[in-house]
């Protein structure tokens, strides 16, 4: 006897109306799927709904002030809340209790999906969906299999992400940071170490990256690039360079010192670099324009 076809995903709940959650709600609604934006702080919910509806003026977006009310009728739930394991575990348990059938997704960027879903009895329906910020612009969504995630959940989630216009990728092993953030922070670890070791200044690190590997990474990823230049050359360079590259298993002491001193970067006016008034907004606008320019040929 054939198994019944999986139910179509026709309604989505997004939990958390912060900068990520509200844009996720607008993104999903823009594709014609009904969305409920869940947020317990009324003023945040109001502003989140306004922003999401501005993104999807023809879409259906409603608000809910409680998790139970917001997720009860959803076919798929995406959490976009604080990156705190205990808080996410509590939320997943509440969602599972309120809705016994929905796929439950976490937008965590680093936390293991298996751990987030630890308190959910039916872990087969829990999965990672790591969107990159801003989620309506960055194409990739990492669809992450937890230890209990079923094949059906992986496939339905992957297909849904493709249906709303994203570029989903399957991450088949639940490792902290998944794929993108492991690559990104490996680069950041070495960048910070170069500065902390006095090899060069922070401006030089960024200048070199933007004008060398940054120019080609948009077209040729590291694996293709290794093949392209030749694996014999790649091996020779690894033999010469890797022994001197930072291999610390913990965060840089220099980074810890900056944070301890309240030098948090753009949000406090200074970190590795100086961030005068208006610089963060200018950087955000510059980044958004750059991403849209890079994606324009793909969307034309």
181 given a catalytic annotation: yes
- The angle that helices 180-196 and 253-260 make with each other, rounded to 10 degrees, is 90
What CA–CA distance (Å, rounded) separates 8 from 278? 45
What CA–CA distance (Å, rounded) separates 35 from 11? 6
> Closest Cα to residue 81, out of 94, 72, 91?
91
CB 158 within 8 A of CB 144: no
CB 106 within 8 A of CB 76: no
Does the pLDDT of residue 268 top 80, yes or no? yes
pLDDT, greater one: 134 or 61? 61
**How wide is the angle at C-alpha 82 spanned by C-alphas 155 and 248, nearest 5°?**
90
pTM: 0.91
Which helix (H) or strand (E) element contains residue 210? helix 202-210
**What tokens appear for 211 in the block?**
């004008």
109 given a catalytic annotation: yes
Sequence-separated contacts (24+) of 112-117 with Cβ below 8 Å = 112/146, 112/174, 112/175, 112/176, 113/144, 113/145, 113/146, 113/149, 113/174, 114/146, 114/147, 114/148, 114/174, 115/85, 115/89, 116/85, 116/88, 116/89, 116/92, 116/146, 117/89, 117/92, 117/146, 117/148
Q: pLDDT grade, residue 28 (50/70/90)?
A: very high
Q: Which of 109, 118, 238, 248 is catalytic?
A: 109
What CA–CA distance (Å, rounded) separates 82 from 143? 19
Does the pLDDT of residue 38 top 90, yes or no? yes
Q: Which of 130, 152, 219, 250 is catalytic?
A: 130
> Closest Cα to residue 128, out of 168, 86, 82, 74?
168
pLDDT, greater one: 6 or 286? 286
Instruction: Say which DSSP state 6 is in.
Output: P
106 given a catalytic annotation: no
Domains in the chain, CATH or no CATH each: 11-171 (3.40.50.720), 179-249 (1.10.1040.10), 251-285 (no CATH)
pLDDT, greater one: 292 or 13? 13
Q: pLDDT grade, residue 296 (50/70/90)?
A: confident
Q: Which of 47, 150, 181, 225 is catalytic?
A: 181
Q: Phi-psi bin for 77: left (phi > 0), alpha (psi -120 to 50), beta? A: beta
> Closest Cα to residue 119, out of 80, 79, 92?
92
Does the pLDDT of residue 1 top 60, yes or no? no
pLDDT, greater one: 234 or 5? 234
299 CA to centre of own chain: 22
Q: Phi-psi bin for 278: left (phi > 0), alpha (psi -120 to 50), beta? A: left
What CA–CA distance (Å, rounded) separates 252 from 260? 12
pLDDT at 4: 58
CB 105 within 8 A of CB 76: yes
Mean pLDDT of 108-124: 97
142 given a catalytic annotation: yes
CA diameter of the chain:
68
Q: pLDDT grade, residue 295 (50/70/90)?
A: confident
Mean pLDDT of 126-137: 95
What CA–CA distance (Å, rounded) separates 103 from 300? 33
pLDDT at 3: 55
CB 112 within 8 A of CB 137: no
Q: Which of 79, 108, 142, 252 is catalytic?
A: 142
Name the pairing type of β-strands 140-144 and 126-131: antiparallel
Q: pLDDT grade, residue 294 (50/70/90)?
A: confident
Round the average pLDDT of the chain to a whole number and report it. 95
């Amino acid at each position: 006897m054939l198994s019944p076809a999986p139910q179509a995903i026709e309604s989505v709940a997004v939990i958390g109306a912060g900068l990520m959650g509200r844009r996720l709600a607008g993104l999903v609604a823009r594709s014609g799927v009904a969305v409920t934006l869940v947020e317990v702080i009324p003023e945040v919910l109001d502003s989140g709904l306004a922003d999401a509806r501005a993104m999807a003026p023809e879409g259906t977006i409603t608000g809910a002030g409680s998790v139970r009310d917001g997720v009860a009728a959803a076919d798929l739930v995406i959490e976009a809340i604080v990156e705190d394991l205990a808080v996410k575990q509590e939320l997943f348990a509440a969602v599972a209790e309120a809705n016994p059938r929905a796929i439950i997704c976490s937008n965590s960027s680093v936390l293991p999906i298996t751990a987030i879903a630890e308190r959910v009895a039916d872990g087969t329906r829990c999965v990672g969906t790591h969107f990159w910020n801003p989620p309506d612009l960055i194409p990739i969504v990492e669809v992450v299999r937890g230890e209990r995630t079923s094949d059906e959940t992986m496939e339905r989630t992957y297909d849904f992400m493709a249906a709303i216009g994203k570029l989903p990728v399957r991450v088949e092993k639940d490792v902290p940071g998944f794929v993108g953030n492991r690559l990104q922070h490996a680069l950041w670890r070495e960048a910070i170490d170069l500065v902390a070791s006095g090899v060069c200044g922070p401006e030089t690190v960024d200048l070199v990256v933007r004008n060398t590997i940054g120019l080609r990474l948009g077209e040729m990823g590291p694996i293709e690039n290794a093949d392209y230049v030749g694996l014999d050359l790649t091996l020779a360079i690894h033999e010469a360079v890797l022994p001197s590259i930072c291999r610390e298993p913990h965060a840089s002491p220099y980074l810890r010192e900056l944070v301890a001193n309240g030098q948090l970067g753009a949000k406090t006016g200074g970190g590795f670099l100086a961030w005068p008034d208006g610089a963060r907004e200018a950087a955000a606008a510059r980044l958004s324009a750059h991403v849209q320019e890079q994606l324009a040929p793909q969307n034309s």
